[in-house]
């Protein structure tokens, strides 16, 4: 067999190399909503733009997976070797997935300085996607929590401005609450029916988890104090009266929520309710404020939670998948989708108020606050809420004391942690 001249062989190799470089890499991107979801549609339009410009020689095939059973679909696909390269998910999925080795540490592929240039995450946002120094995803759209109140109710009661401390919130609640002659509640000024969202524990100076010891601390003094404060509303109005009022919410508040129905003056809730309030109650004087603080306690405390995207560890294209993730989670791309009057927040330090309608300025400040906190990143993050909420409900329903309920929750959570740590890869 006659050998080809060296120059010809070299030319062929160069052409083959160039051809391979020009080949398009296709990535499968799973999204945990169906195609009709407005949030998913915004991302679908951006993916179309990405494919048209084709940066990095990458093409994205977006799959709308729906929310029902999405976590199980991901796990089954990974086990079968048919999972996506990049997946949209929620933080309570991302955290145990990362710990169990299902997700790629993006810092192992892309230098951290490049990530920070494109997506300078706020402290709370970074807390939800980093584990032991690794980056396991990027937030796509965030919610923060504060107070939304009916300013017209405030004016009628002679209350000026939002409550700034927990003590003031209690006073506002008493001034705004109206009772019927039979002792039942006609209108609730405020009731902290949201303890399971964790932020009140932080407001009172508590911590739910110690990353150094890898143990839960949900029975810490601050969290006990917060739950005792919550239960104090039962002492003030009567557990039976509160339960009767809550059960009656289903009818008058159906489809509109407690604020629009006129049954509440103040709610602690996220900015995602603002659009509905403006649309269905355009003539109401709605007000927004941070959660109040305790004396000497942290200010502008909030829970931050988000949809996130992550690169699956099983991908055959870790570099390209990480480049796509960095594009998708960048300030520029997210800002172009989520600004204006859209309610999800971009949890990046470089994002300015000018991107948003004034209704969202305060909420963006909360997202960028050093006291914006995420649910603790642990191997049992997806089980935490089930255990914690069940025990808290026992205290709220008068079955046990706040201290006993939280002590029991702490014991169960740490038993689960010990088992999970034994199974870590």
Q: 87 - beta bridge partners?
A: 30, 310
Q: Are residues 193 and 75 in the same domain?
A: no
For the chain, the domain total comes to 2
Task: Decide if pLDDT at 15 tops 60.
Answer: no
d(CA 179, CA 400): 27
User: CA of 164: how far to CAs of 236, 291, 294, 301, 360, in Å?
Assistant: 21, 8, 9, 12, 19
pLDDT at res. 350: 81
Closest CA to 267 of 401, 373, 153: 153
Q: Which of 18-32, 117-131, 136-150, 292-306 shows the lowest per-residue confidence on average (mean pLDDT)?
A: 18-32
Q: Are residues 342 and 364 in the same domain?
A: yes
pLDDT at res. 361: 93
Contact 292, 163 (CB under 8 A): yes
- pLDDT mean over 160-169: 95
Label residue 9 by pLDDT band (50, 70, 90): very low
Label residue 21 by pLDDT band (50, 70, 90): very low
55: containing domain:
24-143+305-373
Pull the structure tokens for residue 31: 């999204």
pLDDT in tens, 364-382: 999 999 999 999 988 888 8
- pLDDT mean over 122-143: 93
pLDDT over 70 percentage in the chain: 91
Indicate whether 10 belongs to any domain: no
Q: Are residues 367 and 239 in the same domain?
A: no
Going by their DSSP bridges, the two strands 25-31 and 58-64 should be labelled as parallel
Indicate whether 7 belongs to any domain: no
pLDDT at res. 55: 67
DSSP H or E run through 153? helix 151-157
pLDDT at res. 19: 43
Indicate whether 152 belongs to any domain: yes
Task: Decide if pLDDT at 66 tops 80.
Answer: yes
DSSP class of residue 131? E
d(CA 387, CA 420): 15
pLDDT in tens, 284-297: 999 999 999 998 88
d(CA 191, CA 180): 17
Q: Are residues 387 and 250 in the same domain?
A: yes
Q: Are residues 365 and 400 in the same domain?
A: no
Q: Are residues 293 and 392 in the same domain?
A: yes
The gap from C-alpha 384 to its chain's centroid, in whole angstroms, comes to 15
Q: Which of 52-61, 116-125, 247-256, 319-328 shows the lowest per-residue confidence on average (mean pLDDT)?
A: 247-256
CA dihedral 178, 183, 185, 190 (to 10 degrees): 70
User: Radius of gyration of the chain from Cα atoms?
Assistant: 25
Q: Are residues 273 and 221 in the same domain?
A: yes
Q: Are residues 72 and 97 in the same domain?
A: yes
Pull the structure tokens for residue 357: 């309608």
d(CA 339, CA 336): 6
The pTM of this model reads: 0.88
Last residue of a domain, one of 373, 388, 412: 373
Indicate whether 128 belongs to any domain: yes
Task: Decide if pLDDT at 7 tops 70.
Answer: no
d(CA 364, CA 369): 9
**Residue 335 or 324, more confident:** 324
Task: Decide if pLDDT at 252 tops 50.
Answer: no
Label residue 351 by pLDDT band (50, 70, 90): confident
d(CA 106, CA 323): 9
Indicate whether 3 belongs to any domain: no
Q: Are residues 192 and 64 in the same domain?
A: no
**Residue 38 or 289, more confident:** 289
Q: 141 - beta bridge partners?
A: 307
Q: Are residues 111 and 185 in the same domain?
A: no
Contact 353, 346 (CB under 8 A): no
- pLDDT mean over 96-122: 93
Last residue of a domain, one of 337, 358, 373: 373
First and final C-alpha spacing in the chain: 53
- DSSP codes, 174-201: HHH-EE-TTS-EEEBS---TTGGGSHHH
Indicate whether 9 belongs to any domain: no
d(CA 239, CA 190): 15
Indicate whether 155 belongs to any domain: yes
Q: Are residues 235 and 120 in the same domain?
A: no
Label residue 144 by pLDDT band (50, 70, 90): very high
Q: In CATH, what number is assigned to the domain containing residue 256?
A: 3.40.190.10
Q: Are residues 30 and 131 in the same domain?
A: yes
CB atoms within 10 A of CB 51: 15
Indicate whether 97 belongs to any domain: yes
User: CA of 199: how far to CAs of 9, 121, 279, in Å?
Assistant: 67, 20, 28
pLDDT at res. 170: 97
Label residue 268 by pLDDT band (50, 70, 90): very high
Q: Cβ neighbours of residue 218 under 8 Å, at least 6 residues apart? A: 201, 208, 388, 406, 409, 410, 413
Between 221-237 and 402-422, two packed helices, what is the crossing angle to 10 degrees? 140
pLDDT in tens, 167-200: 999 999 999 999 999 989 999 999 887 767 789 9
pLDDT over 90 percentage in the chain: 61
Contact 151, 286 (CB under 8 A): yes
pLDDT at res. 30: 95
Pull the structure tokens for residue 179: 């009772």
Q: Which of 60-69, 190-199, 409-418 shows the lowest per-residue confidence on average (mean pLDDT)?
A: 190-199
Task: Decide if pLDDT at 54 tops 80.
Answer: no
């Amino acid at each position: 067999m006659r050998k080809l001249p060296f120059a010809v062989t070299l030319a062929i190799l160069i052409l083959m190399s160039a051809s391979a470089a020009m080949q398009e890499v296709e990535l499968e991107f799973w999204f945990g909503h169906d195609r009709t979801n407005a949030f998913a549609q915004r991302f679908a339009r951006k993916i179309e733009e990405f494919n048209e410009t084709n940066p990095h020689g990458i093409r994205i095939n977006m799959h709308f997976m729906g929310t029902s059973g999405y976590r199980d679909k991901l796990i089954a696909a990974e086990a079968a070797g048919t999972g996506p390269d990049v997946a949209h998910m929620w933080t309570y999925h991302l955290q145990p997935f990362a710990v169990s080795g299902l997700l790629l540490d993006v810092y192992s592929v892309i230098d951290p300085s490049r990530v920070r240039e494109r997506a300078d995450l706020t402290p709370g946002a970074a807390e939800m996607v980093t584990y032991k120094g690794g980056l396991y995803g990027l937030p796509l759209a965030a919610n923060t929590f504060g107070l939304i109140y009916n300013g017209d109710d405030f004016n009628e009661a002679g209350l000026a401005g939002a409550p700034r401390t927990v003590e003031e919130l209690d006073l506002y609640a008493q001034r705004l609450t109206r009772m019927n002659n039979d002792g039942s509640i006609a209108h609730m000024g405020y009731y902290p029916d949201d303890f399971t969202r964790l932020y009140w524990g932080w407001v009172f100076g508590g911590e739910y988890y110690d990353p150094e010891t890898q143990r839960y601390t949900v029975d810490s003094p601050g969290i006990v104090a917060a739950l005792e404060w919550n239960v104090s509303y039962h002492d003030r109005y009567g557990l039976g009266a509160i339960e009767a009022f809550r059960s009656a919410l289903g009818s008058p508040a159906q489809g509109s929520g407690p604020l629009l129905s006129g049954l509440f003056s103040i709610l602690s809730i996220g900015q995602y309710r603002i659009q509905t309030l403006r649309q269905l109650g355009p003539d109401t004087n709605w007000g927004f404020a941070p959660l109040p603080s305790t004396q000497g306690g942290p200010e502008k405390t909030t829970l931050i939670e988000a949809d996130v995207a992550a690169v699956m560890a099983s991908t055959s294209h870790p570099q390209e998948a990480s480049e796509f993730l960095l594009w998708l989670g960048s300030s520029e791309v997210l800002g172009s989708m989520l600004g204006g009057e859209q309610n999800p927040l971009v949890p990046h330090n470089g994002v300015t108020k000018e991107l948003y309608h004034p209704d969202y300025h305060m909420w963006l400040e909360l997202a960028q606050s050093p006291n914006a906190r995420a649910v603790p990143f642990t191997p049992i993050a997806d089980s935490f809420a089930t255990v914690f909420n069940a025990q808290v409900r026992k205290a709220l329903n008068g079955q046990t004391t706040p201290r006993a309920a939280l002590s029991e929750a702490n014991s169960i959570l740490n038993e689960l942690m010990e088992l999970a740590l034994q199974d870590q890869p």
